């Protein structure tokens, strides 16, 4: 924050002068850059990005004996060992639902414009659905994630519930045509989560997924997530703009976060099941990537 403050004062701007819109956009873009920076450095990528299934059943880093490791390596290893269970994802959605309800009460959603009400309701639906899925689809898995991932996830769901209010106008025309798209993406994502859960409990250990809706994709649930936020950016467009730029920044964060995770997922599938079994399957974008 101190360096952000210095950088801003260098261009004649103080943190306290920044509008919430600017702060939210800076947060999403800075977090995206941080994820890309970690992804670019192998020593950081291997320790801090992989979570859940991707850190199980693979050979992992080849480390020298502990006494030969540098202080930096030991510090990084210690930081990477600060983990929480993967199923702490449930906390994200409890947080999201509570924030949705808090802002609804604080900003009188019942008196808000139709566009704000729709965007708020779609985000509440996303939080509620994911919360229920997290409870219903909890397996006995012991998989884990880095604690900073958990903190960043909480920050995302706290801020996204502000982001849907700060720029969305009360009564602009809005791109209503995209509302069915969000609902469809939510339904598809639900079907993929339910499939992964069945895969997890019906077999001993992880399997290579082959879902009927997306037979050629390894992470269709990630694709749905990005589509949901991208469509919200269009639905919440202010008057005179075709898109809500604060939600576009949030979408960039989601796409970066999940894109990097999808890269690790494909590497893990190749290592675990073999390149021949994974074949030409794409990560998130049908037929392209
Ligand atoms: N908005 C955001 O920035 C953001 C960020 C991250 C995630 N998300 C969303 O949260 C949802 C969950 O994400 P995630 O990263 O936790 O997904 P994930 O790693 O694919 O895991 C989802 C569930 O499926 C299980 N699973 C994964 N691969 C499997 C396989 N090959 N065989 C059997 N079971 C398997 C996992 O088991 P384990 O519990 O054993 O790992 C976990 O229970 C996604 O829809 C994603 O879009 C959103």
Residue 182 · residue 236 · CB < 8 Å? no
> The tokens 């898995």 sit on which residue?
141
170 found inside a domain: yes
The alpha carbon of 187 and the centre of ligand 1 are apart by a number of angstroms equal to 16
Give the residue among 258, 282, 240 at the shortest CA–CA distance from 31. Answer: 258
pLDDT at 15: 55
pLDDT at 193: 95
Q: What is the pLDDT of residues 236-284, one digit of tens each?
A: 998 888 999 999 999 999 999 999 999 999 999 999 999 999 988 999 9
Does 89 contact ligand 1 (Cβ within 6 A)?
yes
Residue 136 phi, psi dihedral angles, 5° rounding: -70, -30
5 token code pair: 């403050």
pLDDT at 211: 73
The alpha carbon of 219 and the centre of ligand 1 are apart by a number of angstroms equal to 9
Residue 250 · residue 160 · CB < 8 Å? yes
Does 199 contact ligand 1 (Cβ within 6 A)?
yes
34 found inside a domain: yes
Residue 58 phi, psi dihedral angles, 5° rounding: -120, 165
The alpha carbon of 217 and the centre of ligand 1 are apart by a number of angstroms equal to 14
pLDDT at 62: 53
114 found inside a domain: yes
The alpha carbon of 221 and the centre of ligand 1 are apart by a number of angstroms equal to 8
3-state helix, strand, coil in the chain (%, to 5): 70, 5, 30
pLDDT at 7: 52
217 found inside a domain: yes
Q: Helix crossing, 147-166 with 20-40: angle to 10°?
A: 150
The alpha carbon of 89 and the centre of ligand 1 are apart by a number of angstroms equal to 9
∠ CA 272-81-193, nearest 5°, is 50
Q: Work out the end-to-end distance of the chain between its first and last CA atoms, rounded to an integer number of angstroms.
A: 36
pLDDT at 57: 54
Q: Which atom of ligand 1 is least distant from the CA of 52?
A: 41
Does 143 contact ligand 1 (Cβ within 6 A)?
yes
Question: Could you tell me the residue range of the domain that residue 129 belongs to?
Answer: 14-54+70-278
> The tokens 């819109």 sit on which residue?
21
107 found inside a domain: yes
> Rounded CA gap, 237 and 241, in Å?
6
Question: Residue with the nearest Cα to atom 3 of ligand 1?
Answer: 254
Does 223 contact ligand 1 (Cβ within 6 A)?
no
pLDDT at 108: 95
Classify each residue of 114-134 as buried b or exposed e, where b means 16 or more C-beta atoms within 10 Å of its C-beta. Answer: ebbbbbbebbbbbbebbbebb
Count: domains in the chain: 1
Residue 87 · residue 51 · CB < 8 Å? no
pLDDT at 1: 44
Residues of the chain with pLDDT under 70: 1-18, 56-68, 169-174, 213-215
CA distances from 200 to 27, 45, 51, 205, 230 (A): 35, 26, 16, 6, 29
104 found inside a domain: yes
7 found inside a domain: no
49 token code pair: 């990005």
Does 56 contact ligand 1 (Cβ within 6 A)?
no
């Amino acid at each position: 924050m101190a360096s952000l403050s210095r950088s801003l004062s260098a261009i004649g701007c103080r943190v306290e002068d920044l509008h919430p819109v600017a702060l939210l956009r800076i947060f999403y873009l800075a977090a995206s850059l941080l994820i890309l920076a970690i992804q670019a450095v192998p020593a950081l990528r291997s320790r801090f990005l992989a979570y859940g299934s991707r850190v199980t059943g693979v050979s992992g880093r080849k480390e020298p004996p502990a006494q030969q490791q540098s202080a930096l390596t030991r510090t990084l290893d210690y930081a990477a060992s600060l983990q929480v269970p993967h199923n702490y994802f449930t906390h994200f959605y409890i947080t999201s639902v509570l924030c949705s309800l808090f802002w609804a009460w604080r900003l009188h959603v019942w008196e808000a414009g139709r566009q704000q009400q729709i965007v708020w309701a779609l985000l509440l639906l996303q939080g509620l659905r994911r919360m229920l899925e997290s409870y219903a689809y909890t397996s006995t898995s012991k998989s884990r994630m880095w604690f900073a991932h958990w903190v960043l996830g909480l920050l995302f769901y706290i801020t996204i519930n502000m982001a849907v209010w700060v720029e969305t106008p009360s009564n602009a025309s809005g791109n209503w045509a995209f509302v069915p798209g969000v609902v469809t993406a939510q339904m598809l994502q639900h079907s993929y989560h339910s499939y992964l859960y069945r895969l997890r409990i019906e077999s001993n250990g992880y399997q290579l997924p082959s879902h009927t809706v997306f037979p050629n994709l390894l992470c269709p649930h990630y694709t749905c997530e990005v589509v949901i936020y991208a469509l919200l950016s269009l639905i919440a467009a202010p008057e005179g703009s075709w898109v809500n730029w604060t939600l576009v920044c949030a979408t960039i964060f989601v796409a970066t976060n999940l894109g990097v995770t999808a890269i690790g997922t494909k590497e893990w599938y190749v290592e675990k099941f073999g390149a021949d079994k994974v074949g030409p399957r794409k990560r998130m974008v049908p037929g392209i990537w």
